Each structure stands twice: as C-alpha cells, then as structure tokens.
Amino acid sequence: MASSLLVPTLAQAVEHVLTAVEGDIVLGLPLGIGKPNPFVNLLYRRIKAMGGEANPRRLKIITALSLEKPEGKSELEQNFLAPLVERVFRDYPDLDYVKDLRTGLLPPHIEVSEFFFKTGDYLGNGRAQQAYIATNYTFVARDMGVLGVNVIAQAVAAHNVDGELALSLGSNPDVTFELAERQAAQGKPLLKVAVLNRQMPFMPNHAVAPAGFFDVVVTDAEATHTLFAPPNNKVGTADYAIGLHAASLVADGGTLQIGIGALGDAIAQALIVRDSNNDGYRRIMAALCPDSLQGRELGCFEQGLYGCSEMFVNGLLKLVEAGIVRREVFDDVALQSLVNQGRAPGLAVSTDLLAALVDAGRIGSALSAGDLAFLQRFGVLNNQVRLAPDGALEVGGTRIANRPGDPAARMALQDAGGLGTRLAGGVVLHGGFFLGPTDFYERLRAMPPEALAKIDMTRIAFINQLQGQSRLKQAQRTQGRFMNTTMMVTLLGAAVSDGLESGQVVSGVGGQYNFVAMAHALPDARSILMLRATYEHKDGVRSTLVWNYAYETIPRHLRDVVITEYGVADLRAQPDGEVVKRLIEIADSRFQQDLVAQAKAAGKLDAGYEVPAQHRQNLPEVLRTRLQPWSGSALLPDFPFGTDLTADELRIIGALRQMQHASQHPAELLAMLAKCLWTDAEAPPAYLQRLGLDDATSLRKMLMRKLFAGNL
C-alpha cells in the first residue's frame, strides 16, 4: 500500500478529510453493509457540531439501504427485542444520520439522499421522501458523479500478503471502482477512504483493490464491528408455494438470480429438494398443481446452475454448498462459447479444445506471449510450457514446434505433459453486494480459498445489464431466470414494486428494471416477478392483483412471467385479453369476480367470460391442505436454513403477531379479548418477565398479559 496513507485512528482520518477537502463534503457510501459506520458517525458528528457557526460546512450523504437495528413500535415489542438485538447484532453501530433523519433531527446543513430505502422505513417522512433519488442501480456511479461526490468511504476486508496489506471491497465492489474511474476520467477530485473492518469477509477476484487504490486506509481497531445480520424469516405456506412454482421454471444448465427474505429461501429450498429428493419434489408439485405440470422443469441438476445476482444472499450460498450452483463460466467469450458448444466436456482439457481455440481465432497459428498467458490462465496449458527465444515451445527441456493448429504439435504437447487436465479460473457466481444472517458471514470467512475463488463479487454494471462485454455476458447467461419480488401487478401486466400511487417511495427500483429488460434481450431468458396474492390491510385482506394502479415500476410492455402461490402466469407475447385471464387465474378467489367485472367494464374481457372451474378454489385453506403433508417436515421446514431465534422466542413472536393483527381489526380484537378473559391460561414467568408483564398492575397491562397468554 505504498501510495496509501495509513491512518491509525478514526479521529485522525476525519481530520484528514476535513483538511484535504475544501468546502462542502459530498460523501458517497456503498449500499448496505459496505458502509464504515464508525467513521461516518464521527464525521457526521463533527459537521453537525458546526451548525452553530455562521457559515457551517455542509455535508451531503449519497447512499442506499442504510441499515438500523430493529426497534419495536410498542412497549411489548421493545422489551422482546432488546435481548435478541443484543445477542444477534452485538456491537453493530447504528448510523447517527439514520436516527436523526427518522426523528426529524437532521440539521439543515446536512442532507441525506438515498436511491433505495429499507422497505417501508421512510413512508410519511417528508425530508427523506423529498431527498430520494429515483435511479437504476446501474446508474448510481454516474449519478454520484453528477451530484459532485468528492469523498467515497467504504468498509473493507484486509489480508496480509507477504508483509503487504491487501484490501478487498468485500461485500460492495458494486460502485466504488466505477465511480473512481469516472471521476478520474473527468478530472474531478475524489478522496477515497478505506476503513478496515476485520469482520468483513475477504472476497477475491474483482473485489480486490489494486495496491494504492485508496488514498487513506484507516486501521483503527475500533472500526471493526459486527456486520448487520437480519435473522432468517419463517417460510410460510404461500412462500413455499411460490418458491416451488419458481423452482419448476429453472432449467438445468441455466442462470439464476434470487432475492433476500422468505421468498428467496423458499426458492432455494425448493431447488435443493428438487435435486436431492426428486421423488419428493415431484409428489409435492403434483399436489400443488393437480391439473397440469406441462412445461415445468422437474428433473435433477446434471449440469448445475450459474448464479448471477446483484444481491448474493444466503439462499444462493446454500445452493453453492449443495452443489447446485456449480456451472462455471469463464471470463473469455471465445472460451465460454466453446464450453457452451460442448467442446470441453466436464471442463476437461484436450488437444481438440486447443484446436478449437485456433479455429475460433482466439489464439494464433503460432503462440504469442499473450496467447501462452491466456492458455495458462485458464488451464489449457500448464505452467511448464515456455516460449523459447527462437519462438519454439519448451516443456521440461523438450522442444515442440510452435504450431498449435498442427495435430502433431498438439500431440507432442500432450505427450510432453504440457497440456492441462481441467479448465481453471471458472466462476460459479457473480454478485454485486451481499447481506445475510450471522452464519452466512461466518461461512464465507471460513470457506477454503479454492472454493471462495469461484465466487466473484464485482461491479453492478457488469451484473445487472448486458451493455459492456455484451457477447461475453450472453455466452455466460444461458437460460437466465431472473427472479424478483413485487408488491402489486395490474391485470394488464404492469408491476408495482417500489412506490405508491401517492408518490411515496417504499423501497427503490434497484436493479429490477435492468433484470427485466435483460431477460427480454437474452434469447432464452425469462423475467419472473413473484408476489403473494393478498396482503393484510387495516381494512381487511386485499388483493395484490389489481385492475389498475396510478404508479408502476415495470411497464406492461415488459410483462413476462408472474407467480403467486396459486400458480404461474406466462404473459410473454400474449394479447391483453389473454393476459387479463391468466392473471385472474392466479388471483385469490375471493377477489376474482371483482377483477372480472372491472376488466369487462373496461372492454378487456368478453362479456361471457367466467373463471375456469379449476381456478375458483384459489384460497389459503385449500393451499394449506395441498401442502399439509410436507409442511414443517424436512422437505418444507419453517426455517430451511436455520434461525437465530430460540424456540421460546418463536412462541412469543407467534403470540405477538396474532395480537398485532387483532389490534388492526377491532371486531377480531374484541372477540380475542372476550375469549382470553374467560380462560385461566397463564404464560410462563420467563416470557412475562421478557415482555415486562410480570408485574402487571395497571388495567392495560393486565389485559395485555391475558391476551398474550391466550395467544400462546
């Protein structure tokens, strides 16, 4: 790190930034866990304290997904969460600017603009909503430059290699490298600050920073802290149904993107069951889809999958560990094309592959130094092969004619032991950033180097679009299945994923639009949008399939595949009338007739249309009955990848959720209260103490205690 300034303390690093940057500071931060929270907090506090000055220095923070430890909304939730947060999140430091923005205490000389919110966190927060930046993830580096970012700060992982400090951007090589290149090309200043967090997994390949890339490297031990680790969610019946349907669309030898949360876990578990217990998977699918499984993919994974996902989640790591995400891709379009054509069966190296590379024009009829480096990098030739001064090839003292197109020369190379045995340098997963539970990070940190080398964290511009290296990406991303969640889908196929019709932003576009567009651009790819068919509202259950909506994230002309727990709607190339029918067929049956009436009134359905009989039982109780034989079993467990929650905590959560649901429905609450008052049920003392109900003396607490006990 010869050209980087090593700074031993956070305070010195902040002083350096304040001195080195003249005037206002526009601070860029990575999305999610790539933020160096202790450094950001100290810089924020210093500039916040300047608010009393006549002309304070201004600070603008541009970032996304600022993560905060969970806090309960009620006293019961707060009491329950306190020990859980202490155990799981340990010393994770919340961001001061998040606290102030949430409570309305952000000073006027400091701005915070995010391009992706933690879901629902800033609904109704005027300052956050007004500062939101609507942009695709692939444009973030560009937009940071437009907005004048002059400091980028990032949490990094570190290794000592031969006495030198090697840095990896770990979770987030997504934006920083591209931003630095853009600013340098335009002659704009950018102070690059790396802050070591020893908990960050050291990711190899494109995540490794070139020596001297960062201007300042902060080595303060106080900057190391627990990574934000959201516990795994319970996977419910509807989630599993969606995941099972989605898994049946994944082609062996294809490409996969999935997201975080219960749906992502459901897809991953369904794929694991499909591969490891294929008979069981087929029985589940036959029960879930009693009418037809025509066109579904039900077999095991003989070739395996390649992961290409902006978010590298726990489910994808589980698929790597299960040997399902194992299809290797190579960073060379000619070689990748030959692999796709079957010219390297099992990735084995042969003289035929060498000949094919000559025929493809990838290497010359006589090997140059560059050709030899390429062949050795990918394991076609081993490191014993040398290029002699006179141009001949040498293998351990044996001279061979430098004519790779000549069968005799190729055989001589093989006989001399110069040929490799298996292609090297393959990658099974490209990701842009990661986020997961505690054991996700632990498994990455403990992964053997040879396994970790097959995971390449890289730029979001590479992952989320075809532009740039288009031919290579097309060769790698065969049979892509790009799966994203959405909030609502209109009956004409538009998707609502990030905002409300009022203009309030729920989350952000992120990379969803790019993946949808890419699925349409690739010849054999599909965009798959998933959603539960209903959602809970204070006024009762509502359908997520709606006639129309005054906001959309994905326009109807990009409609493709939509999945609910009730089935799969293939919308590609279908006329509007057929799209409406297919979406109604996967809607909850309690809402189908209203949807039919609205579509008919708009002239998009024939007056005589009726919902087919086989789709009139799209109801939660019917779905539960179909999956009941496997629910909670080893095939469809509540927590397929474990949980940080104890059995007691799960019981408490179950009761609290029922109470919370009832609190939004007065009639249900009254019935629940009446039932609980007539029972002698009592909760275990430890539960009551955890919730602060052990000394309930007020009428309110006594009622809460009764409700809680009755709902255990």
What domains are there in the chain, each with its CATH number?
Answer: 5-223 (3.40.1080.10), 237-328+428-623 (3.40.1080.20), 333-415 (no CATH), 647-711 (no CATH)
d(CA 552, CA 357): 47
Is residue 293 within 8 Å of 271, Cβ to Cβ?
A: no
Residues 270-322 pLDDT 10s:
999 999 999 999 999 999 999 889 999 999 999 999 999 999 999 999 999 99
Torsion on CA atoms 285, 289, 295, 299, rounded to nearest 10 = 10
DSSP code string of 551-578: --SB-GGG--EEEETTEEEE-TT--HHH
Residues 357-395 pLDDT 10s:
999 999 999 999 999 999 999 999 999 999 999 999 999
Q: Which residues contact 553 (CB under 8 A, 6 or more apart)?
A: 486, 495, 496, 497, 498, 499, 509, 512, 513
Confidence of residue 659 (pLDDT cuts 50, 70, 90): confident
Per-residue tokens: 608: 């005589």
Pair type for strands 110-114 and 59-63: parallel
What does each C-alpha distance from 165 to 153, 210, 226, 368, 546 come to in angstroms? 18, 11, 22, 34, 55
d(CA 566, CA 544): 13
Residues 141-154 pLDDT 10s:
999 999 999 999 99
> What is the pTM assigned to this prediction?
0.94
Mean pLDDT of 113-132: 95
> To 10 degrees, what angle do helices 278-288 and 262-276 make?
120
Residues 434-485 pLDDT 10s:
999 999 999 999 999 999 999 999 999 999 999 999 999 999 999 999 999 9
Is residue 239 within 8 Å of 267, Cβ to Cβ?
A: no
**pLDDT of 489 higher than 50:** yes
Half-sphere exposure of 394 (CA within 13 A, CB side): 8
